[in-house]
Structure 1
Amino acid sequence: MTDALSFIHIMKWQNLPDAVKKQAELNVLDLIGVAAAGSQTPPSMMTRDLAHEEFGGTLPMLFDGRTSSATGGAMAAGITIDSIDGHDGFNPAKGHIGAPLFPAALMLGHSAGISGQAFLEAIVMGYEFGARASVAQHGTVPDYHTSGSWGAVTAAAAGSRIMGLDPETTRHALGIAEYHGPRSQMMRVIDYPSMLKDGAGWGAMCGTSAVKLAQKGFTGAPAITVENAAEYWDGLGSRWFTLEQYFKPYPVCRWAQAPIEGALALQRAHNIPHEQIATIEVHTFHESVRLAMKRPQEGDAAQYSTSFPVAVALVHGDVQPRHLVGDALHDPEVLRLSDAVDMRESDHANDNFPAQRPARVTLVLKDGTRHDGDWTEPRWDHNAPPTEAEFREKFHSLADPVLGKSHADAIETALAQLQNTPLSALSDQLLRPIRS
């Protein structure tokens, strides 16, 4: 048995550094805020309808109240989070651990009636496991797959811990999840943006069902990326990747965040009205250049664009979910500036990706004046994360308009107390319908 397999069950809350414990709370708070905003999107609504209609069960779904199974509820919650591209990520993974992990842990944990501490343990273990599973998969397969692929194995690891699977049954759960995980092509959805996004819902669903199948005796071991790729699993229990996640100030792809920061910095430094801007030059890495949707027709495509959110930021001074849906997609000034973005691939940026996501922006005004910016990184990277106050401010900015402040406050309080209460103290707040 490898160290990776052992770690799933032996990691204990009392042995974690205080900083890791606190970060687990803030990571979950961030995911819940994103989920609240995501619950209002068409992909979330469609998926919750499907989960209720087709996945029979008695568990209420996230921010819905209608029932489904743990598998269907995990899928719906994963797609709900993924539908607002504002959740945490891990640079080496080129993807997101929390989006497939949290839904599986929430649904299985609620169904099993576990303690809040046991849930938080599973979350920390999942971030540590998922960080290494992502790098192991990227290092051992040729194509670039979505987070749902290795996220399925991560969800299965958390579920195996929550459901108390023995070591051999855990091996099979991980193997089932790896084999059936959605090896979806990330760059396809970059080139052709749609509601598919990063596969988080399918990964959560696959990981949850893998645990349920393994419990019944279904075999599937080994998970190759776990058992046959030991070189990627160093540092378990000593290097805490829970502390090395990035977070998003804007609900769009991470690859577009540095261009947004660079454009806003120039606009603010030179007090430039957006009406005076003629051209926006963006030098960045290949993947960001391929976020080429200038005139998105739906919110998911707007989130998978570089030019459109840069234009939104220049017009509104910020990028919020309301800027990426409905009539906002047809704002004439935003569309003019989006069309004016000139994306240019840079060797410097390519050389630094994926550890960094740099961009350099130039604003050219209608009178010919050029304002050249410096190389810029996205805000809230792991080496300069948001403060606790910024986490809470972001949560409320996303959750309050949807849930109401009293419901959002109750969630925040329940999460802060969770290590000393049953999980149901939080999950009962999450798995009920939203009241207008």
Structure 2
Amino acid sequence: MIGVPVASMMTDPLPDTVSAWARTALEDTLAVLVAGTRTPLYEAVLTAARHHPGPVPAIGTSTTTSPLWAAHLGAVAASALDFDDGHYRGGGIHAGSTVVPVLLAAAGDVTVGELLRGMVAGYEVALRAGFLNSPGRTGGGYRASGYAATIGAAAALAAVRGNVPTVISAAVRTAFAHAPHSRMTSSASRESIGWAAASAVAAVELAENGFGTEATDTRHRAPAGATPFEQSEDAPVTGSLGREFWCVETYVKPWPCCRAAHAMLEALLPFSGRDIARVDVDVVPGAVGLDLTEPVNLSEAQYALPWLAALTLLRGPAGLSSLSERDFAAPDIVDLASRVRLRPGRAASANGGYPSRVVVLMNDGTSFERTVDDTLGSATRPLSPEALDHKLRQALGSRLDASTIETLRATLDQPDAPIDGLLRLLTT
């Protein structure tokens, strides 16, 4: 029963490395969430949430709404800039942008320490759910982040709310049955991450009211049926839950765009400001279709590899740090982007990442080649404390003053602090 190891993660000692990871990951997710509240995507969902009154604050506003819609809003904000963390082994999914907003919106009167434990449990379940569904797959069987993240967030929320293992298991089974099966068919859907958060809250509320806990469900009949956790023969994946922690392998993004672009961008940075005729980029096969040269909005720009390459070469790191609407149709960027060619020339790296090789041809006829296999921000190439601090202050500074940022960081260091204090800071 999956509820047993999930419940145990709320009480058993966690390895120091896991606790330290959780503290950093929570801070990073809160930062990108706050920054994401300034996007048109967040404003659109906020308009809908205002029709559903409730007690939970909508971050960055004076609006309050229901737990379900607050979770939806938080997840949209945390993923809107494509700055949220991710994990290769779970199929490239983003667990944090669903798990953390769900806990903030619906956990109730809990502490920062309990939030961190629930977050670890949520990541561990989500990453395994993603792996069991489609390990290493990017084709027709691939399901985007929202699918696995729903399952992890439901497990986390059910555990943090103090439910017994049978109810946690029911919430997980129900989440498997109702998780969005979206593929990346619409940039606005953001891999169904917003809907994933809402579905997770609903799954827990259903389980707490008896849905999926009746005796017939133990024989995998209606309403939810068996899950891959119960069907899998891969014991190292399912049996290691609560004993081996995949979450520490999570990558953190240095730039707000698709992770498949990051190795390419890092390889191109030394050539910023040079007189360039053409760029050939070898990427993993699944990234070849991300060949847009003139995006019309932020969601498109985050996945437009030729445009991102041209932006990097013409604007440097400053252009990457905050994608700007004024640059979407900038003639110089669009012109150079039209001379960037993507080729399916790289296999996924050993850890499942997205390596890249660039060949840069200068107008004087010289050419240069550079390869990045292990992308900056991975578990083996983590961002420096200075880089993490810069990202935090840049993201939070879009809404919070310096004093509030320091208070927020200090609160995260207090395991017994109530999370309603966090919410007050985030809605300042």
TM-score (norm 2): 0.91
Q: Which moved more, 1:29-38 or 1:371-380?
A: 371-380
Q: Distance in 1 between matches of 2:417 and 2:370?
A: 50
Q: What is the CA-CA distance between 1:229 and the residue it aligns to?
A: 1.9
Q: Distance in 2 between matches of 1:22 and 1:72?
A: 30
Task: Give the 3 Å change call, closer, same or farther, for CA 319–341 of structure 1 in structure 2.
Answer: farther
Q: Distance in 1 between matches of 2:20 and 2:340?
A: 40
* Residue 146 (structure 2) aligns with: 148
- Would the aligned equivalents of 1:146 and 1:185 in 2 still touch at CA under 8 Å? yes
- Would the aligned equivalents of 1:172 and 1:222 in 2 still touch at CA under 8 Å? no
Map residues 54-93 of structure 1 onto 2, 5 A cutoff. 55-93=52-90
- Aligned to 2:380, the other structure's residue is in SS state coil
* Residue 403 (structure 1) aligns with: 400
Q: What is the CA-CA distance between 1:165 and the residue it aligns to?
A: 2.1
Letter in 1 for 2:230: E
- Aligned to 1:15, the other structure's residue is in SS state coil
Question: Residue by residue, what CA displacement relative to the aligned partner does 1:81-121 show, whole Å, maximum 9, x if unpaired?
Answer: 11111111001221111111111111112xx2112211111
Task: Give the 3 Å change call, closer, same or farther, for CA 165–12 of structure 1 in structure 2.
Answer: closer
* Residue 273 (structure 2) aligns with: 273
Of 110, 120, 135, 1:124 maps to: 120
Q: What is the CA-CA distance between 1:325 and the residue it aligns to?
A: 3.2
* Residue 416 (structure 2) aligns with: 420
Q: What is the CA-CA distance between 1:236 and the residue it aligns to?
A: 2.3
* Residue 5 (structure 2) aligns with: 7
Task: Give the 3 Å change call, closer, same or farther, for CA 351–140 of structure 1 in structure 2.
Answer: closer
Q: What is the CA-CA distance between 1:170 and the residue it aligns to?
A: 2.1
The RMSD of aligned alpha carbons is: 2.0
Of 380, 385, 394, 1:383 maps to: 380
* Residue 324 (structure 2) aligns with: 325
Larger proportion of helix? 1
* Residue 247 (structure 2) aligns with: 242
Task: Give the 3 Å change call, closer, same or farther, for CA 71–321 of structure 1 in structure 2.
Answer: farther
- Would the aligned equivalents of 1:60 and 1:67 in 2 still touch at CA under 8 Å? yes
Letter in 2 for 1:224: T
Q: Distance in 2 between matches of 1:118 and 1:160?
A: 12
Q: Distance in 1 between matches of 2:325 and 2:372?
A: 33
- Would the aligned equivalents of 1:262 and 1:376 in 2 still touch at CA under 8 Å? no
Task: Give the 3 Å change call, closer, same or farther, for CA 214–374 of structure 1 in structure 2.
Answer: closer
Q: Distance in 2 between matches of 1:374 and 1:255?
A: 14
Question: Residue by residue, what CA displacement relative to the aligned partner does 1:111-157 show, whole Å, maximum 9, x if unpaired?
Answer: x2112211111011112222211111215996111111111111110
Question: Residue by residue, what CA displacement relative to the aligned partner does 1:15-41 show, whole Å, maximum 9, x if unpaired?
Answer: 112221111111011111111211111
Letter in 1 for 2:97: A
Determine whether 1:171 maps to 2:174: no
Q: What is the CA-CA distance between 1:385 and the residue it aligns to?
A: 1.3
* Residue 264 (structure 2) aligns with: 259
Of 212, 217, 230, 2:205 maps to: 212
Q: Distance in 2 between matches of 1:211 and 1:121?
A: 17
TM-score (norm 1): 0.89
Determine whether 1:21 maps to 2:19: yes
Q: Number of residue pairs matched?
A: 413
Task: Give the 3 Å change call, closer, same or farther, for CA 264–67 of structure 1 in structure 2.
Answer: same
Q: Distance in 2 between matches of 1:125 and 1:205?
A: 18
- Aligned to 2:343, the other structure's residue is in SS state strand
Q: What is the CA-CA distance between 1:282 and the residue it aligns to?
A: 0.3
Q: What is the CA-CA distance between 1:163 and the residue it aligns to?
A: 1.8
- Would the aligned equivalents of 1:8 and 1:161 in 2 still touch at CA under 8 Å? yes
Q: What is the CA-CA distance between 1:306 and the residue it aligns to?
A: 1.0
Q: What is the CA-CA distance between 1:179 and the residue it aligns to?
A: 1.2
- Would the aligned equivalents of 2:170 and 2:211 in 1 still touch at CA under 8 Å? yes
Which segments of structure 1 move beyond 6 Å, counting only runs of 4 or more?
A: none
- Would the aligned equivalents of 2:99 and 2:119 in 1 still touch at CA under 8 Å? yes
Q: Distance in 2 between matches of 1:139 and 1:36?
A: 31
- Would the aligned equivalents of 1:411 and 1:426 in 2 still touch at CA under 8 Å? yes
- Would the aligned equivalents of 1:114 and 1:423 in 2 still touch at CA under 8 Å? yes
- Would the aligned equivalents of 1:52 and 1:67 in 2 still touch at CA under 8 Å? yes
- Aligned to 1:280, the other structure's residue is in SS state strand
- Which consecutive unaligned segments of at least 5 residues does structure 1 have? none
Q: Distance in 1 between matches of 2:392 and 2:144?
A: 25
Letter in 2 for 1:409: E
- Would the aligned equivalents of 2:292 and 2:307 in 1 still touch at CA under 8 Å? yes
Task: Give the 3 Å change call, closer, same or farther, for CA 35–354 of structure 1 in structure 2.
Answer: same
Map residues 188-203 of structure 1 onto 2, 5 A cutoff. 188-189=185-186, 194-203=187-196
Task: Give the 3 Å change call, closer, same or farther, for CA 321–39 of structure 1 in structure 2.
Answer: farther
Q: Distance in 1 between matches of 2:400 and 2:201?
A: 27
Determine whether 1:114 maps to 2:110: yes
Task: Give the 3 Å change call, closer, same or farther, for CA 114–196 of structure 1 in structure 2.
Answer: same
Of 364, 368, 379, 1:367 maps to: 364
Q: Which moved more, 1:86-95 or 1:140-149?
A: 140-149
Task: Give the 3 Å change call, closer, same or farther, for CA 257–140 of structure 1 in structure 2.
Answer: closer
- Which consecutive unaligned segments of at least 5 residues does structure 2 have? 213-222
- Would the aligned equivalents of 2:154 and 2:175 in 1 still touch at CA under 8 Å? yes
Task: Give the 3 Å change call, closer, same or farther, for CA 213–319 of structure 1 in structure 2.
Answer: farther
Q: Distance in 2 between matches of 1:391 and 1:363?
A: 30
* Residue 232 (structure 2) aligns with: 229
Letter in 1 for 2:394: S
Letter in 2 for 1:410: T
Q: Distance in 2 between matches of 1:319 and 1:144?
A: 34
* Residue 334 (structure 2) aligns with: 335
Q: Distance in 2 between matches of 1:47 and 1:75?
A: 8
Determine whether 1:358 maps to 2:352: no
Letter in 1 for 2:167: T
- Would the aligned equivalents of 1:359 and 1:377 in 2 still touch at CA under 8 Å? no
